[in-house]
A and B are shown apart, each in its own frame.
Chain A
Amino acid sequence: MLDDFFVRALIAGLGVALVTGPLGCFVIWRRLSFFGDTLAHAALLGVTISLVVNMNISLAVFIVSSVVALILLRLKKTTNLTGDALLGLLAHSSLALGLVVLGFLSFIRFDIMGLLFGDILSVTKIDLIVIWVGGLAIILILKLIWKPLFASTVNYDLAAAEGMNPEKADIIFTILMAAIIAISIKMVGLLLITGMLIVPAAMARNLSNGPLQMVFFSIIGGLLSVLIGLFTSLKINSPSGPSIISVALILFILSLIVTKKNYKIFK
């Protein structure tokens, strides 16, 4: 069964959606969408490095994205530049570096479109292992740091004052963001990863009253987007990443109608 590329893509996609659901909620709550973009831009540098030293793409992307994320945390403390200026600086300089290195690799045939928009054909069995083992690890760690991370999202000072150690939780969360980008890059492509994080979570917000409820709906929305998106992509031969995000967008629009009627699924 796993020899069928479509089954592999489906399993991979569902694994990714399971993780982007909860992480996407935090991205929205903490206003980190541009941060996700920055890590995705940096991912290109990771991909080129993986080509140069012949390393697993996800691992290389994870390392580069983590380093960029940690540099960002450091710069935030040591410079007076605003957060979005720092993000732009890191996003575009790492993208530029990645493209320069890629330019030197003319001897390697590489599908840049697949990298940007995702390619279901390219998902291998090893990718499946990376996605599911990595994904479950991310969910487990997120569950462990949930309380301090959520407290620090609501109010950093309050969390710090009451012994929640929010700084540690924030750093771990940053690493988890790098990890989800690393494992989902093949499926969704680096231009659309942030969309996979944000669109289902935004849809979920329209349906929820509480934080856990929003996480639940965000996961459901992600899973549905992957399922419908991939089948559509197979039927009409559209690129996989954009198809998934388009379905997520449709779900979001439907959720707006629900909100407009001021009807919450659970009162």
Chain B
Amino acid sequence: MTIQATSLAMTPNPWVAAVMIAAIVLTSTTGEVLTAAAMKSIGDLDVIRARSGLPGAIRAVVTCPLFFAGVFFLAMAFFSLLFALNHLNLSLVAPASASLMLVTNTIAGKIFLKENVDRRRWAAAGLVCVGVYLLAH
């Protein structure tokens, strides 16, 4: 009876599984983009550290509101992952979310961070995406 319940828990509706994985990917991508934007607005940490020492670099990071917004979404991504792992198999969640995150982060980097994503970076994102899927599958 317990085994049946467990196996049922591990095979939910495909749409529900897709929503869970999408939640991980979206919250994680939002967190990564906000964190990257925060670090760009702060400037080169190596330069700040050379100028005002490690406490100055830490102060520059922890006084940036964007940084905390990013950390909030990364925490949401972590809890979404825990929730998904409670209902889905690791062998599905890990490769699917890791591969999709690379693609969504590349798209978000181009749109929101205005990064110059040339053919080389698209190719790299594609290769790493398939590679991560093969490694984790």
A and B are partners in one complex rather than unrelated chains: no
- Residue numbers of A with Cβ under 8 A of B are none
